[in-house]
Chain A
Amino acid sequence: MSIALSAVNLKKNYNNVAAIKGINLEVKQGECFGILGPNGAGKSTLLKMIYGQVLPSSGDLFVLGLNTKDQFTEIKSRIGIVPQGDGLDTDFNAIENLKLFATYFKMNTNLALMRIEHLLHEMKLASHQYHHIDALSGGMRRRLAIARALLHDPEMLIMDEPTTGLDPQARLWIWTYFEKLKSQKKTIILTTHYMEEAEKLCDRIAIVDQGAILDLGTTTQLIQKYIGIEVIELEVGTEKNYWSVKIKSQGLDFQDFENKLFIYFQSVQQRQNFLEHIQNAHYLIRDANLNDVFLKAAGYQIRGNA
């Protein structure tokens, strides 16, 4: 079995409003797959369908070869989930949270205790294991939620915005840890709106907006396809029209972003040629990144509901 997840024309409507509009998707086993999108794009809804908190209106969804229509109990015994907001039980301390989860999974007690000790240690939580959940920092709580998701040694890990709201150190630690999980060939599906995170961790990325997949591929493929290799951020102020015409006449691709134009280049030579025509303007040259792809694919506008 090499396909970990497969969605076929998956749809979800809430009171006749489409939240997911026919998604087709395949995730391979051992792959780290990123779902990227702005707030309200349908990322969480899609994830919740994988673990059964949202039921599809139509279409099919298979997880580890099992049908989500009637095999949720088995699916959930084989996947680990880190939900948004961690969902820790605030009536108990850190180690009790893990012990409780082990009972929910009907794990063998000795095995559970071994796993818990191992994970508390690995997640650098051993010295805080008897602390109440409210006494843990955001980073610790997230690490505890990850430990909890790994308790039953799942084949697949699903994480909804795993580093949102964390400080840079905590985020970096989690990224390093995910690299380790990837080396263990665990399938990882995560949502994020941090391009850096997706770029660093994910083998493939789906850009999702308004309930549909806009595009899908590796980071390199997407950047190559949408942007090229370099970007010049040109400050144009009130002379936007003048510059737009000028750039268009050179056959270059660009995006309009407030008082700047982002101009995309397929080669260094192309960029050099362009720069020869520029005088008296502020600009910045940088590598093309996933951010450019995302902004181009999903559009620049900040939506009213975002």
Chain B
Amino acid sequence: MRAMDKNRLIVAAGAVALGIILQLLIWNGTLNAYYAQVLTMMSIFVIMATSLNLINGITGQFSLGHAGFAAVGGYFSAIITTRLQLPLPAPMIFTISLLVGGLIAALAGFLIGLPTLRLKGDYLAIATLGFGEIIRVLFLNWKYVGAAAGMWGIPGYTNFIWAYMLAVLTVIFIVHFMNSSHGRACISIREDEIAAETMGINTTKYKVMAFTFGAFFAGVGGAVLGHLIRLLHPATFSMTFSVEILLMVVLGGLGSITGSISAAILLTFVSEALRKFNELRMVIYALMLIGIMLFRPQGLFGRKEFSLDLLTDSRFMFKSSKNRGA
């Protein structure tokens, strides 16, 4: 137990140190604006991937609606920052807009979750896919937020440190949730829904809960994204976006948070690195995915977590997240 607490401190300190170092490097110009932007994108995708993992990997409910939740969060937060003239300092406006975006996305997740979570597997995937499209088309036709022309003039509040901090908070939230009894209830639904129910677990409640939390962070991610690229367009939140996030989750390993983080960073990096070979980019990207699925279908990390405990006390580099108890 002691060693674990110590390792947790090391991880926390490491996360803080990494954030500070990167921010300092950005300030003194070692990392130029382009790299800062890539790092910010990585952080945003960490938020998106880990929150989707909460739904798909941990609770085992196959959702393809993440772009929809991100759109809800993005648009509503942008309404706060552009349409309302709040007499507050910028960071506060941004915080409020992130919260509002997240909460409205969570509400959407809750409302969508109640009826659709009775569906299983492919059927749920199709239903959530449909939901994502409905959201996109709604924004495409909503004049107040620019309809097909998109929403312009969004202030560029997002910078690296905002995105990084939010990513860290998201990860902390999800990891803590996973290691609680509520998280175990979600995991038990993934493992065997009927058995979970006979263990006295209200499966509907926990499925909706996971969906709502996942949607909240997707909404926050969408809000951060909107204030980074300063333009929201319905086309950004198409099915491709959902699929891209899903790829990160599957690549990292369904149910592995560290896997999702690594995959989000890796895939953002790869897609940027391949920008030079623009025509071949998607081909290489796809080939890489096929290769990984052939040689490691459970994803890079499987269901395991990379953890420091192991470096200190065990034979393996990877340890099951589920064995933390003792």
Chain A partners chain B: no
